[in-house]
Amino acid sequence: MVLVAPVGAQEDPPARDGTGDSYWGPIEPPAPETTAEFETAGLSAWEWPLYAIYRTVGVPFQLFTYLVRGGVIALDESGALEWISNLFGAVDLPYGFRAIVDVNSTVGGGGGLTFFHEELFGGRARFQTKAKFVSGGRTTLSGGFLVPKGEGGFDLGGGYEIRGNERFFGRGPNAEEADESYFTREITWVGGTYEQPLGADFALRGLGLF
């Protein structure tokens, strides 16, 4: 037995110019009243002098940009940039300095310097000291010394801070403005920790802070 399924009328394929029948209906050819043509607008008479000045002033900057771009490409292709980077680039040392920059609305702006040594005593200890100065009259000096031992070890640290313009709010939150003033506050601290592993998941730790 042979079954023959009815075949509907085959739609004509759309024309190459975008017209013809489509899923949404027939597509009409473009007409002048429904077609938008974009043309390059010319310059007015008063715009030509300004355009000439703009192009004249911009020529030196364009030439400078082309020269810089070409110079960088030439240096890169010749290997000169890599040589300069190796000559003046950062050196991987276990010690060095780090700059500190701090700006916030509470204490103002400040900066400082940190010195660190990651392989002190042949790699058996690490050391770091920091000095920080803030525009509001705050100076902080601190340092730390760490001796790792397996998963544990001990560390010692301390610091000193002086705040020259610490705010004193009188005798309480409801103090009058005339009773508010400033005073100098000094803080000194020293502390240390010791940690001894007691297996894979346990450790004994001691902490002291003064």
CA nearest neighbour of 186 among 150, 141, 148, 156: 141
Spatial separation of the C-alpha atoms in residues 51 and 23, rounded to whole Å? 50
On whether residue 10 sits in a domain, the answer given is no
* Residue linked to tokens 């027939």: 26
SS3 189: strand
Say which residues have a Cβ less than 8 Å from residue 19's Cβ, sequence separation at least 6. Answer: 26, 27, 28, 29
- What residue numbers bound the domain in which 140 lies? 95-209
Highest averaged pLDDT of the listed ranges 32-36, 104-108, 190-194: 190-194
Say which residues have a Cβ less than 8 Å from residue 175's Cβ, sequence separation at least 6. Answer: 169
On whether residue 111 sits in a domain, the answer given is yes
Average pLDDT of span 164-171: 70
69 and 162 housed in the same domain = no
* pTM of the predicted model over 0.75: no
On whether residue 31 sits in a domain, the answer given is no
67 and 103 housed in the same domain = no
Helix axes 80-88, 47-78, angle to 10 degrees: 70
203 and 134 housed in the same domain = yes
Say which residues have a Cβ less than 8 Å from residue 17's Cβ, sequence separation at least 6. Answer: 29
- Domain count for the chain: 2
On whether residue 12 sits in a domain, the answer given is no
On whether residue 165 sits in a domain, the answer given is yes
155 and 175 housed in the same domain = yes
Locate 71 and state its tokens.
Answer: 């110079």
Spatial separation of the C-alpha atoms in residues 135 and 155, rounded to whole Å? 31
Of the candidates 23, 58, 87, which is a domain's last residue? 87
Count Cβ atoms within 10 A of the Cβ of residue 92 and give its class: 0-12 exposed, 13-18 middle, 19 or more buried: exposed
75 and 126 housed in the same domain = no
CA nearest neighbour of 132 among 155, 157, 95, 162: 162
Longest dimension (CA), the chain: 111
Q: Is residue 72 very low, low, confident or very high in pLDDT (cuts 50, 70, 90)?
A: confident
> 23-51: per-residue pLDDT in tens?
778 877 777 766 666 677 777 888 888 88
On whether residue 22 sits in a domain, the answer given is no
* Residue linked to tokens 């190796």: 86
Using only C-alpha atoms, what is the Rg of the chain? 38
Confidence check: pLDDT of 106 > 70:
no
β pairing state of 203-209 and 108-119? unpaired
Cβ atoms of 115 and 128 within 8 Å: the answer is yes
User: In this structure, what are the phi and psi dihedrals at residue 42, rounded to the nearest 5 degrees?
Assistant: -80, 175
Of the candidates 87, 119, 136, which is a domain's last residue? 87
- Lowest average pLDDT, out of 5-14, 21-30, 93-102, goes to 5-14
DSSP state of 199: S
> 57-70: per-residue pLDDT in tens?
888 888 998 899 88
